[in-house]
Amino acid sequence: MSRYNLGFMSDEAIFNHVKDTVSQYRKSINLKEFNENIIDPIKLTFDSKIYGQTIRQTIESECLRQIDKTNNNRIGYFHQYLFKYVGNGWDVPCNGDKGGFDVINEDRFIFAELKNKHNTMNSSATSATYLKMLDKIMRSGNRATCYLVETIAKRSQDIVWEATITQNGHKEKYNWPSIHRISMDKFYEIVFGDREAFFKLCKILPKILDDVISEDETAKLKNTVYEELDKTDFYKSLYLLAFNTYEGFDKL
């Protein structure tokens, strides 16, 4: 096994965690799956012409877009379940257990909710998350600190989370001092005691992925959509996916 020298996590642990994430990645798509929710051939035609692509390139881009929607959840797994390897009281509870938090350390009274981007929560989700954190703090006798951890925050930060909460149609601003918004690098610093821990992981991640993929050839994308379409007339194949029962399309 290669040496990754993270310092805060063993080579074997980070390799296995990346491997587990890759194994969950969606890595294949066929024509049936491509048209599962009925694709929009009008939009694909616009995309092809406006962006100067062949219709094949546009279809392949749409395939990647569909796959990407699934894989966003897998990246959430990567970020959350990495903390199960930490030890020292850190835990990744099963969904819904221990208050429904993503990452906790009961010894240090730390409870964290992980989000990918700073702008992914609507007002309802914001209210529910903030009130859950406030409830945890009250039940802990005001000993707990709760974090909204943002992988892609606006900036590196660890600040009091100021939120507008809606209850029974009434809006009120909260800024409880032990409820924080924190970027992933700052949370890694709390967990691992290393200011550059997140940077070190990002720097070595391409190498780890190369090692994982070289060990498992099934980790590469298999896309058979193009092969399954009528290559003599892409537009005909494309339009009949959605409009095969529409009037006049039997003449294509």
52: left (phi over 0), alpha (psi -120 to 50) or beta: left
Q: How confident is the model at residue 69 (pLDDT cuts 50, 70, 90)?
A: confident
Q: Average pLDDT in the 35-55 region?
A: 91
Nearest to 45 by CA among 236, 223, 244: 236
pLDDT, position 43: 93
Nearest to 193 by CA among 68, 117, 105: 105
From CA 210, how far away is CA 207, in angstroms rounded?
Answer: 5
Nearest to 178 by CA among 141, 143, 150: 143
Q: Model's pTM, two decimal places?
A: 0.85
pLDDT, position 96: 65
- Rg of the Cα atoms in the chain: 23
User: What's CA 145's distance to the chain center, in Å?
Assistant: 24
222-251 pLDDT tens trace: 888 888 887 778 788 889 989 999 988 888
User: If DSSP codes are grouped into helix, strand and coil, which group holds residue 173?
Assistant: strand
95-146 pLDDT tens trace: 766 778 999 999 999 999 999 886 678 888 888 999 999 999 999 999 999 9
Q: How confident is the model at residue 252 (pLDDT cuts 50, 70, 90)?
A: confident
CB-based contacts of 71, cutoff 8 Å, min separation 6: 25, 26
The answer to whether the beta carbons of residues 92 and 83 sit under 8 Å apart is yes
Letter for the amino acid at 99? G
Residue 85 has pLDDT above 70, yes or no: yes
From CA 91, how far away is CA 103, in angstroms rounded?
Answer: 6
H or E segment and range at residue 159: strand 158-160
CB-based contacts of 202, cutoff 8 Å, min separation 6: none
164-223 pLDDT tens trace: 887 777 788 989 999 999 999 999 999 999 999 999 999 999 999 999 999 887 777 888
